[in-house]
Amino acid sequence: MNVINNEVLLESRSLRNDVAGRTEVLDKVKALSLLPDGMHVTTAMVAAYFEVTVKTLESVMEDHREELDSHGLQVLTGTRLALFKGACGIQSRSRAIAVFSRRTVLNVAMLLRDSEVARQVRTYLLDVEYMARTQPVDNSVHRGPDSLDDRIDRRISRILGKTIVPMFNALIEASGEHRKELISLRDDVEKVERKLCNHHQRLRHLEHAQGPRPYTGIMASIDAMNWREFEHHVAVLLRRDGCTDVVVHGGPGDRGVDVTAVTAEGRSIVVQCKSFAPYRPVWSGELQKFLGASFVQHGADVALFVATTSFTPDARAIAETYGITLVDRAHLEKWSAGVPLAILR
């Protein structure tokens, strides 16, 4: 049972922010279908997940637009919309489409009052958060798959099998008057034990099949950042990897670069940061602009182009020819997880 009633999430934005990253609970309650890009859903898809009308969902969006925007809600128009439709195979004449990340969908679950699915998500969310905060930290060496034996379902099944069932057996042997009732209760307990054991085995199979996911949640957090937050995130990574004199310049008057720094070896470095949707690649023209700014205007030793998306083949060709280091979505994920960039070592 939850220590905190899940209705509190409806009222407390700070509490919602605290648990906003636990998007895995969505699939624990109900499978969330994603668009072909593997990252987003439309308004209609979110409404279907929560089993509410689109009008109900749009009302929540209107009342909490600023909060939802901060967690990844985007309204696509113009060129961005055309690229998105092409990438996801969407056939629509709409001039604007709202797209939700998994983080945004979880945010909606914490705002929707009249949805049983949303209520279940909130309940599960607080259960997971409570367990994470109250469970003692295990500082032992990682034990691999056998550590799954510490699951609560496994512990309960052990208690039932090794304590409760033997206790019923002793009572049955010593009792005459209530023998049938005790046998019936023992059978019920054994059924529960078997179900828990089967559940445990299914979880083991699923987790072995999925394999390790060391970077889960990193890109979802980055995708939720605005352009200014993303630039500061890159600045933090540079400082972590030994750079000094790190300055964020993004915005008007930045002379074509967003961050400047000095590497641990004393080389000057300029950085361009692009916080784009995953379906919108960085084009060659953007590399050409950065090329002039980095080496001509700033005379940099190292030119670093960091993006939350991919680069077109032409853009990669320019980077290879002129010595620009590209950090695409996959490399950004690893860099953010603690893997230093080779150029900064």
CATH assignment of the domain containing 316: 3.40.1350.10
Say whether both 66 and 172 belong to one domain.
no
Buried b (16+ CB within 10 A) or exposed e, 232-249: bbbbebbeebebeebebe
One-letter amino acid at 92 equals S
Q: SS3 for 305? A: strand
Q: What percent of the chain has pLDDT over 90?
A: 33
Confidence band, pLDDT 50/70/90 cuts, at residue 187:
confident
Which CB contacts under 8 angstroms, 24+ apart, belong to 85-93?
87/36, 87/37, 87/279, 88/35, 88/36, 88/37, 88/40, 88/279, 89/36, 90/35, 90/42
Torsion angle of alpha carbons 139, 141, 143, 147, nearest 10°?
Answer: -10
* Mean pLDDT in residue range 137-143: 43
Last residue of a domain, one of 210, 235, 250: 210
Q: What is the tens place of the pLDDT at every residue in 291-335?
A: 888 877 778 899 999 999 999 999 999 999 999 999 999 999 999
Query: Does residue 2 lie within any of the structural domains?
Result: no
Query: Does residue 118 lie within any of the structural domains?
Result: yes
Given a contact cutoff of 8 angstroms between Cβ atoms, the answer to whether 111 and 75 are in contact is: no
3-state helix, strand, coil in the chain (%, to 5): 55, 10, 30
- Residue 226 is predicted with a pLDDT of 86
Say whether both 74 and 152 belong to one domain.
no
Give, for 167, the enclosing helix (H) or strand (E).
helix 165-174
One-letter amino acid at 183 equals I
CA dihedral for 289, 295, 299, 304, sign (positive or negative): positive
Say whether both 43 and 104 belong to one domain.
yes
Would you give the distance in Å from CA 66 to the centre of its chain?
20
Q: What percent of the chain has pLDDT over 70?
A: 74
Domain count of the fold of the chain: 3
Confidence band, pLDDT 50/70/90 cuts, at residue 139:
very low
Say whether both 169 and 280 belong to one domain.
no
Comparing CA positions, the residue from 327, 307, 107, 103 lying closest to residue 224 is 103
Say whether both 268 and 340 belong to one domain.
yes
Say whether both 241 and 192 belong to one domain.
no
Give, for 177, the enclosing helix (H) or strand (E).
none
Q: SS3 for 247? A: strand
Range of the domain at 288: 219-344
Residue 160 has pLDDT above 90, yes or no: no
Last residue of a domain, one of 210, 241, 264: 210
Residue 138 has pLDDT above 50, yes or no: no
Query: Does residue 3 lie within any of the structural domains?
Result: no
Residue 233 CA to residue 224 CA, distance in Å, equals: 12
What letter does residue 63 receive in the DSSP assignment? H
Say whether both 203 and 261 belong to one domain.
no
- Residue 26 is predicted with a pLDDT of 87
Which region among 51-60, 261-270, 274-283 has the lowest average model confidence (pLDDT)? 274-283
- Residue 137 is predicted with a pLDDT of 45
Q: Which residues contact 33 (CB under 8 A, 6 or more apart)?
A: 41, 45, 49
Say whether both 235 and 339 belong to one domain.
yes
**260 dihedral zone (left: phi>0; alpha: psi -120 to 50; beta):** beta
What backbone torsions phi and psi does residue 299 show, to the nearest 5 degrees?
55, 40
Confidence band, pLDDT 50/70/90 cuts, at residue 159:
low
Give me the helix-helix angle, 179-210 and 165-174, nearest 10°.
170
Q: Which residues contact 162 (CB under 8 A, 6 or more apart)?
A: none
Length of the chain: 345
Residue 37 CA to residue 329 CA, distance in Å, equals: 14
